[in-house]
Amino acid sequence: MTWTPQPLLDTMEITISDPILLKTAFHHKSYLNEYQGGDIQSNEKLEFLGDSVLSLITSHYLYTHYPLHNEGEYTDIKAAIVRTESLADAAAQLGLGELLFLSKGEEDNGGRTQKSLLADCFEALLAVIYLDKGYEVAASFVERFLFRNKLDGIVSEKLYMPSKNILQEYYQGLRKQLPEYRIETEEGPQHDKTYTISVFAEGKLIGSGTGKSKKEAEEVAARAALQRLNL
């Protein structure tokens, strides 16, 4: 394929002085299995660095822009904004999938639109920007292409809160009574159990959920209850 990163660089309004490093950010590990000749690397190490850089940028941003929130809320907000789906959406908007180097098998399996590959590529690209341009430019890139039009909404609408917490606040404020969670079934061996849990309010079933832990099943049940209540 003809690799043309210039439109991406124009969109980002960032110039990268090391074209080899930039290209490495788009080398999926599957591509190395089929590539013949030369000494190339996958984007895995860059993705590792980018993950850490993104964590620092996000933590710094939350600390400076949302001083009234506590560390527990910071953790939940960060998890909501840097999850795979959010990174993949940002990567798709930048067109990163079109620039990926993939094996034929990965290509045939829809690798260019696979969320995990796109998220990893976004983090690898962030690492390149950080190494080539420094923290401030990297932070500006994240704020522009990941945080903008997303982070404020997540915070203001409390979308970072676990469904179980939202449901509890609703009933505590409206009914002065907490929802009750009951285990319906518990299946599988001790090391690999699956739980089905139902949540009740005022004696009525309002949601059920299944998960590999009680906590996960309760969260799924609470999410189902919120959907039923249109919350």
Report domain extents, the chain.
6-156, 163-228
Arithmetic mean of pLDDT, 168-192:
86
Arithmetic mean of pLDDT, 21-30:
94
CATH topology of domain 163-228: Double Stranded RNA Binding Domain (3.30.160)
User: What is the reported pLDDT for 132?
Assistant: 97
192 pLDDT exceeds 70? yes
User: What is the reported pLDDT for 34?
Assistant: 78
37 pLDDT exceeds 80? no
Instruction: Pick the more confident residue, 202 or 38.
Output: 202
Closest CA to 126 of 142, 113, 114: 142
Arithmetic mean of pLDDT, 143-172:
85
CATH architecture of the domain with range 6-156: Orthogonal Bundle (1.10)
> What is the model's pTM?
0.75
- Return the number of other C-beta atoms located less than 10 Å from residue 222's C-beta: 24
**Lowest-confidence range among 57-71, 157-171, 197-211?**
157-171
In which band, very low, low, confident or very high, does the pLDDT at 165 lie, cut at 50, 70 and 90? confident
Residues labelled catalytic: 51, 123
Arithmetic mean of pLDDT, 106-133:
95
